[in-house]
Amino acid sequence: MTLLYTPFPLPDESAASLLLRASFNNGYRSLSSFLHAYGFQVHTKSLNSMLADQTKFGAIIQKLGIHPSSLNIIPATYGPTKLSQRLWKGKPISYDFFCTDGTKLCPQCVSESGILKKDWLLKHLTCCTYHKVKLISQCSYCHHPISANRKRINECYQCHKVFFSLSLEKTSEVEILANIWFSEMLLSNNLFLIKSIKGFITALQYTINTFESMVIDHSIVTLSYLFFNNRLELESIIFRIIYVNKSLGHPHILLIHFFSSVNHDVQKFVFDFFKKYSFDNLKFEEISKDFILTKRTTAILLGTNRSKLDNDYFLFLKNEEGFSAKKLNSFLLGNLSPPTHHEIQNTDYLTLKEASLFLGIYYELTIKLFSTDTLIKKEIFYKKNRPYLGVNRLALIKFNKEFITVNRIAKDLKVLTQYLTEKLGCIGIKPVHGPFIDDVKIDVFRRKDIQHLTKNLIISIDNHDRKFGHKTYMYKRNKEELKNTALKLKISISEVKKLIKYKILTSYKRSLLQSFYISEESINYVDNILNSGDYINLSAVYSLLNCPTNWLKKYWIDTKFLEVIDLRIGRYVQRDALTNIKILKEQYFTGVEASKYLGMPHQHITNLQSQGLIQAFYFGTENKVRLFLKKDIYSIKNQQGFERFD
């Protein structure tokens, strides 16, 4: 089919404008019916995508016979993904700065030029700087949202009336300046400035999305302009916003996304704002809709270190999913207090740091000494509603009277800690706790056993065990165990270590003086998967089934046809299960395979099913895979004569 009227792109015209001119002048009632007539499957989301993607738009203009230069209407993608930056007048800018084509316009501009301008693709532009009126995004008669799918550029799809601006929708001078400034800044070479603009806009947009009923009388672009050009005026507006929306929560919660912004200037602005302005005389209310806060955001609002949020003290601010904005808001308002029923008199307990001073050893050694509860049970106690981990004072005094660590003995006698336990063993003094006795990580002696010791006596002991060669012997035994396991499994030693790390191979040792062993049962389990021939590596399955990674997961793994065993050195599936799938594929096509055979977009196969032209068969347990008989696909190919979609 050839167009009766073939449009040529006009200066500053958008893609939606070009296609709407083609649609109307060729006698179609809407853009979607026009594209559908030429073989393009169109719905709202796909239409928006066609007007924003150069590849899809290129396919349209090629089929319609429109000049190839029209492709440059759409901002090119500047990166590997659909969400990458877009080239805007030669400058890469964020994808977030754009809106859907054809969804807002200046009626006076449309009346004069007959086109939709490319500049209206910028999401945050709110007014026409030439006519000094606000851009409209809905029909002024019926209030139907404007979209690209309509009959004419200047006509509402719903009521078919010509768009016009309400006389009351006049634009302030500052908003006009803000729109001009925003358009100019996007073309700036100052990347730091553009990044800061995005940071402020992102914080503001998140705030609006979080508090849907929040009243803000100024546009995002106006507030952004004031942030960079008139901070005093912006502070005054923010103050009024907080006052008007005091029923939505505490001011810190209302500006939570400014506090948590990764942009330093935005975060500094909100901190300086609350230093300058006080809201003590205002009454704020609880928030109605809860949402979860990150640890970083919670720490910023509480003015504490993020690592301290793991303490039990802050549990009262959490729900099942994490830190609750609703609870934090109540806490900031003074309506929620931390629990005090666990608070214990701080004179009854000592922190581990205080305990280290009491015992006369380093803090790190104290942590090791009480890493388990064998000697003294550690408890959480509170000082001024702050949690601390410590030990009972009386229990520590009793322990210190009866016992002493090897490190304190060395310190008192001014000798080296190294081999001190072995030297004492030579004269019959044995530790009562220690790494070779129980789970205490430091050797502990009875004080009555070491009362007679002197420095000279310790120095004179020379026949003690120095354990020379012991570590070397253990290393050789460990290496030999790894080597034997690797040979049996026919893999490298590094892969054996990886299997041990992720506890697929079970290793154990009976004492600290013994090399480790690998469980024979776990070795046999891994050997059966790797070497029995009953399993096949998942990387080989893609080619055997001729199925891409994403579809293999959806069709065969999620539906439990294939059960994947992850050994961390490879992922494996049973060969028998693969054989069953091959038998199934001899009679059936998957949706992707059927679409490819018919030469049509993948989603079109669903349309054929819903129209009763083809029957689907479902297999699987919980999630089911949809398959089509090959003979049905062959038949419909011959009957309908489908052509490949480009």
Name residue 36's amino acid: H
Query: Tokens in use for 595?
Result: 């679409």
d(CA 457, CA 435): 25
What pLDDT, in 10s, does the model give residues 296-321? Answer: 999 999 888 887 787 767 788 888 78
Query: Tokens in use for 500?
Result: 């041990």
Task: Look at residue 44 in the predicted model and tell me its pLDDT.
Answer: 65
Task: Look at residue 614 in the predicted model and tell me its pLDDT.
Answer: 84
Q: Are strands 571-574 and 127-128 parallel, antiparallel or unpaired?
A: unpaired
Contact residues for 418 (Cβ-Cβ < 8 A; gap 6+):
none
Residue-by-residue DSSP string for 4-58: SS---PPTTB-HHHHHHHHHHHTT-SSHHHHHHHTT----HHHHHHHTT-HHHHH
Task: Look at residue 641 in the predicted model and tell me its pLDDT.
Answer: 54
Task: Look at residue 505 in the predicted model and tell me its pLDDT.
Answer: 92
Query: Tokens in use for 544?
Result: 């055997």
Task: Look at residue 511 in the predicted model and tell me its pLDDT.
Answer: 53
Task: Look at residue 504 in the predicted model and tell me its pLDDT.
Answer: 92
Task: Look at residue 570 in the predicted model and tell me its pLDDT.
Answer: 92
Task: Look at residue 343 in the predicted model and tell me its pLDDT.
Answer: 43
What pLDDT, in 10s, does the model give residues 576-634? Answer: 988 888 888 888 888 888 888 887 776 677 778 887 788 888 887 778 888 888 888 88
CA nearest neighbour of 93 among 13, 191, 225: 191
Provide the 8-state DSSP code for 292: E
47-75 in b/e form (b: 16+ CB < 10 A) is bbebbbeeeebeebbeebebeeebbebbb
d(CA 536, CA 48): 44
| Helices (H), ranges, 89-172 | 107-113
Q: What share of the chain is helix, strand, coil (3-state, %, to 5)?
A: 50, 10, 40
Looking at the DSSP bridge assignments, the partners of residue 524 are none
Number of Cβ within 10 Å of residue 220's Cβ equals: 18
CA nearest neighbour of 499 among 512, 510, 488, 486: 486
Residue-by-residue DSSP string for 234-277: HHHHHHHHHHHTGGG--HHHHTHHHHT-S-HHHHHHHHHHHHH-
* Mean pLDDT, the chain cut into blocks of 10 residues (646 residues total): 83 93 91 89 79 89 90 88 86 88 90 93 92 90 90 91 72 93 92 91 93 92 95 94 93 94 93 90 89 91 82 79 91 81 58 88 90 88 76 91 93 89 90 86 92 90 67 70 92 92 82 71 93 91 82 82 90 89 86 81 76 83 83 78 44
